[in-house]
């Protein structure tokens, strides 16, 4: 049973537009979520987090939204840049989703 | 400040052999976690060490074992290698062991079992 699911393996957007990456979870015990970004041949790097007591956290171009009743998170990147092209992982309590590969086209 | 380093970067072993992977934590971090990432999947939690004691374990068999040393560096040992053990092994360090702690990952060791 996969407790964190990222149902879109890939996403392609145009530079300057919004990227929306989605994540669903099943474990109600998860009270803190993190997003990591991974470039090829590198380890994941922390991007942004959110506590379950909040429904939104913003850091520059990155915003994470949490809908606890739906057990759903989304990561918004605005505006998207070619350097954002990477694999994005959603995590809860050391449980990772399978990632979404974002490609931002110039 | 030194980041998380792992060695070796690549490794080829044959089925049935044993392997040891090494990780040096980021300076000042006392917690280390190991993950296995198969192709096309997300990292799967193997176990975590906090101040030299195992502090949680994922769904991996006992042939996956680890150590953490007084300087907080760590080893992952895998005995009786199987073909399905072929994966990228990631080490991550953090300052505390809480679920809310940001983890800092090394570049990984890519293991191929033939």
- Nearest C-alpha of chain A: how many angstroms from B46? 10
Distance between CA atoms of residues B95 and B87, nearest Å: 26
Contacting residues for A20 by C-beta, under 8 A, at least 6 apart: A11, A74, A75, A76, A77
> Quick count: other Cβ atoms within 10 Å of Cβ B41?
15
Q: Where are the beta strands (DSSP E) in chain B?
A: 5-7, 10-13, 19-24, 31-37, 44-50, 53-57, 64-68, 74-78, 87-94, 104-105, 109-113
| C-alpha A31: how far from chain center | 16
Q: State how beta strands A72-77 and A62-67 pair.
A: antiparallel
In this prediction, residue B1 carries a pLDDT of 58
Banded model confidence at residue B101, pLDDT cuts 50, 70, 90 = confident
Question: Nearest CB to B42: which of A31, A41, A97?
Answer: A97
Q: Which residue of B has its CA nearest to A1?
A: B59
- Nearest C-alpha of chain A: how many angstroms from B54? 15
Query: Tell me: the pLDDT tens digits for B48-96?
Result: 999 899 999 999 999 999 999 998 899 999 999 999 999 999 999 998 7
Percentage of residues of chain A with pLDDT beyond 70: 100
The mean pLDDT value for A9-17 works out to: 97
Banded model confidence at residue A39, pLDDT cuts 50, 70, 90 = very high
Give yes or no for residue B99 having a pLDDT over 70.
Answer: no
Give yes or no for residue B98 having a pLDDT over 80.
Answer: no
- What are the CA-CA distances from residue A28 to residues A6, A55, A69, A84 (Å)? 17, 15, 10, 30
Tokens of A80: 């998207």
Give yes or no for residue A68 having a pLDDT over 80.
Answer: yes
Q: Is B60 on the interface with A (CB under 8 A)?
A: no
- Nearest C-alpha of chain B: how many angstroms from A94? 6
Residue A10 in 3-state DSSP?
strand
Distance between CA atoms of residues B63 and B30, nearest Å: 24
């Amino acid at each position: 049973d996969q407790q964190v699911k990222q149902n879109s393996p890939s996403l392609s957007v145009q530079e300057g537009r919004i990227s929306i990456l989605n994540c669903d979870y099943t474990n109600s015990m998860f009270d803190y979520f993190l997003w990591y970004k991974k470039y090829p041949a590198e380890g994941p790097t922390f991007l942004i987090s959110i506590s379950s007591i909040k429904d939104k956290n913003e850091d520059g171009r990155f915003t994470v939204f949490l809908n606890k009743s739906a057990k759903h998170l989304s990561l918004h990147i605005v505006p998207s840049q070619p350097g954002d092209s990477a694999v994005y992982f959603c995590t809860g309590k050391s449980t990772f989703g399978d990632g979404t590969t974002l490609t931002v086209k110039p | 400040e030194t980041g998380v380093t792992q060695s070796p970067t690549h490794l080829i072993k044959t089925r049935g052999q044993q392997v040891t992977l090494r990780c040096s934590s980021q300076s000042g971090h006392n917690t280390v976690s190991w993950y296995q990432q198969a192709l096309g999947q997300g990292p799967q939690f193997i176990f975590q060490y906090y101040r030299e004691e195992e502090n949680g374990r994922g769904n991996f068999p006992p042939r996956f074992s680890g150590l953490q040393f007084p300087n907080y560096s760590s080893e992952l040992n895998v005995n009786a290698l199987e073909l399905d053990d072929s994966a990228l092994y990631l080490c991550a360090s953090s300052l505390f062991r809480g679920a809310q702690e940001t983890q800092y990952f090394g570049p990984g060791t890519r293991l191929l079992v033939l």
